[in-house]
Structure 1
Amino acid sequence: MSVSQNPLRTSLPTTHAAASDSSRRQQKKPQNQSNPGVDPRHMAIALHHAHRIQSQKDTESLILDRILDLVSFPYSPTADPSTPSPEDALLFKNALVPFQPTDYDNLIQERNIEGLCGYGLCPREHRKEEGGGMFRIKYGAKGSGPGGRGREMNIVPKEKLEMWCSDECAERAMYIRVQLTQEPVWERRGDDSRNKNLLLLEEAREQQGRGLRSGGNTTTVGQVAGQLENMHMHGPEAREMAAQMQDLSLRSQELALERGDSSAGAFQHDGRVGVQIMENENFSHAVAPPQMRPGDFQGGSIEGYFPKPQE
């Protein structure tokens, strides 16, 4: 997503170029492959750790590239952060996949150095608080105070307010940050979906609104599997998804049988299972009444010990 941009005021490009050049020089160093005094097992362990360290360096270099791309993003000066274009939203979320919260904080700081709002989808300048002092008093809306009376009052550091162009962009940026995982990308599994399904604040609110408008109706696993079949989806991923949903449907039926829900009519109208407790009258053998044992006349034993009768 790199395009021609104006020179940046931050020192990040110089640092990134120096780190990349150092990494390339280290890769060009000749390696002594034939050393008779080296244990092959130790060499394999050393190479494993060396490759791991190099992978971490490559990932950090990739994150620096992403920060450089997002410092001046979005490229349209008239972009609206509340309704970003689908292309900008997709590029922004894809760029944040390898990020940790600390990397996201670095992105916000670099955007502020360039005079921009810290939210990556906002092209506006960040606000500048006038006056001295290190703190500002923020008042909430009417009725936001204790017990619904008065107005809420918060003391906020001045530098925190100057990170954004508005409180709305601050909320949007923090909603993205709380979704980022703390685990570095080189320690994640290949099938780890964290950071791959990020939601913008407006997208989350829209999904929540759709859920409320639908009346909170729940869809069963079997219905979802049937919907996937009716969509005529193609490709290996679609087939794998449909197979997984079918397996979940079969597993849910097995769990229902284990609970005793042997028929579809076992559920009542309120969603509960009708349970009837009946005495078992089909005895396989005759039940003999209990009989006294010889030691029971003296009280029996206590964990194998027979106490002596008192005289």
Structure 2
Amino acid sequence: MKRRNETEVTEFVLTGFSNFPDLQLVLFVVFSLMYLASLSGNVIIMAIIWLNRSLHIPMYFFLSLLSFSESCYTFVIVPNMLVTLLLGRKTISFAGCVTQMFFFIGIACTNCLILIGMGYDRYVAVCHPLHYHLMMNRRVCLQLGASLAVSGFFFSFIETYLVFHLPFYGGNRIDHYFCDVAPVVKLACPPDQNTEVVILALCTIFILGSFLSVILSYFFIFVTVLRIPSAEGKRKAFSTCTSHLIVVIVHFGCASATYLRPISSYIPGKDIMVSIMYTLVTPLLNPIVYSLRNKDIQTALRKLLIKEILNWRTGRIHALVL
């Protein structure tokens, strides 16, 4: 990003929640609790999946990837936001802003692509059950997971380059609590409408393309399920897809509301509220949905807790005997 040496802007000021000076401490406590709940929930899901061999199947491999990606996703944004709320430090360097945007977009895009991978996994499981273990073996899953991450960060590199290739002179107040695309682009001087159109087009292609890919998978799934003669068979087939669909709708709903519109229509107060949805609420929703609706996760968690309690009791008895 050589543009940094050619501009007067060396740092940005994140205005964030400065319009609510009396609520800084309250917001800090609320957001901290949400962040800890999200982080601990996703870590628990990862631990359950990796410690329970019965869950070492493609569906839970992608779920663990999503939980890991969500944990990284919140780590890029939320800690800095909490520091700003608690200490009032609102500046971020030019390089720090570039880095934050790159990783934020990269992980967000990877999340969308992981949802495509999860949809494809369910498509193969329902529509091609006899070839499932061949089409979704360990090697295929690892290669698919790696390609999703590379693709997400490749898109992020293009998007971040387009944003920070713009000229920044004088204005450095970002009306947001992190370096998001729209509020940063609005600081460009002079504005570059061509770049804004390209950014909007790329976001539209990526978000709509990802969403339609998931919907296409579920279209074939629903067609196949409707052909199942027994009601019980239909129920089981649909039950494995419901949780995923809920997460998909929330993810792409938030992404569409934020990025599928002109940058000029950015409204700080309204868009900050939407951003809270996809930086705090959505990562928290993932473990809640999968833990409450997935019987395998519930059973594995129950067994893990029972095992730990028995180990603790055995240790206490052994200590008393000694």
Range into which the TM-score falls when normalised by the shorter chain: under 0.3
Higher RCO by CA contacts (8 Å cutoff, separation 6 or greater): 2
Please state which structure has a larger fraction of its residues in helix: 2
State the TM-score, normalizing by the size of structure 1: 0.25
